[in-house]
Amino acid sequence: MKPFELLYLGLEPFLPPLQRKARAELRRIAKASKEMPEFLDVGGRLSPYTIGVPAKITVTDIPRESEVQEQLHLGTNDAMMKRLSQRRSNVSRVLLDDMTTSGLSDQSFDCVVAIEVLEHIDDDEAFLSHVHRVLKDGKPFVMSTPNGEAVKNTNPDHRRHYTRQQLKQLLEKRFIDVRVDYAVKSSYFYGLGIRSWEYKRPLRTAITMMSASVSAIESSAGAVRFDNEHTHQLFATAMKRA
């Protein structure tokens, strides 16, 4: 493991709850594999969700070309791709790829993960069709997206926000064993905890880290996954039929 990964894992108690939830699910899936699995991280960019996951990770994203992408930190470029490859030991490939027209091979991956990606996609049906195609039979898809029942869509790059039922119905068109839960408690600490860390602003960063830790505790309650009004994300898992 590289120094960046070790540092990141050491700081895991202070990560935002969505990152912790996604990483826990991906580690569980990886550890259940008899051999080293191949994971596809769609829209992964800097890919915090797969750090330390015992798998061979392929990260894909679209090029960063527009001003909106630059402002919202979306897409990737050559420098970012090089940086990701240099500081990660489990990333085997970093590729430019649009999942709505993906050129990746059929049945190539043991898991596909797309955290906070689907809301950016114009053609969500085509996106999920290619996710299904590149997954091996009987393997999982893991994703999250804003909770459309509680979070207003004010992001200029978000095409839509889904309700739990809308997302469930969309996934069930192609996948089985679909589970969609409400995730991440909306609170004062959630808002503070998702800010970026800045070493030049140590007090602000310390407050951000502690707020993320409190937000994770708030989000760990079992009742959160049934709370449609006070949660920020939908977290979904689904399987490709064996």
- pLDDT band with cut points at 50, 70 and 90 for residue 5: very high
Q: What mean pLDDT comes out for the span 202-210?
A: 96
Label residue 91 exposed, middle or buried (CB < 10 Å: 0-12, 13-18, 19+): buried
Q: In the predicted model, is pLDDT for residue 232 greater than 80?
A: yes
pLDDT of residue 44: 81
Cα–Cα distance measured from residue 16 to residue 190, given in angstroms and rounded to the nearest whole number: 8
CB distance 76 to 98 below 8 Å: no
pLDDT of residue 195: 93
Cα–Cα distance measured from residue 52 to residue 181, given in angstroms and rounded to the nearest whole number: 25
- pLDDT band with cut points at 50, 70 and 90 for residue 216: very high
pLDDT of residue 162: 98
pLDDT of residue 45: 77
In angstroms, the Cα distances linking 227 to 83, 166, 183, 184 are: 39, 16, 8, 10
Give tens-digit pLDDT for 12-65. 999 999 999 999 999 999 999 999 999 999 998 778 899 999 999 999 998 887
Share of the chain above pLDDT 70, in %: 100
- pLDDT band with cut points at 50, 70 and 90 for residue 113: very high
Give tens-digit pLDDT for 125-179. 999 999 999 999 999 999 999 999 999 999 999 999 999 999 999 999 999 999 9
- pLDDT band with cut points at 50, 70 and 90 for residue 118: very high
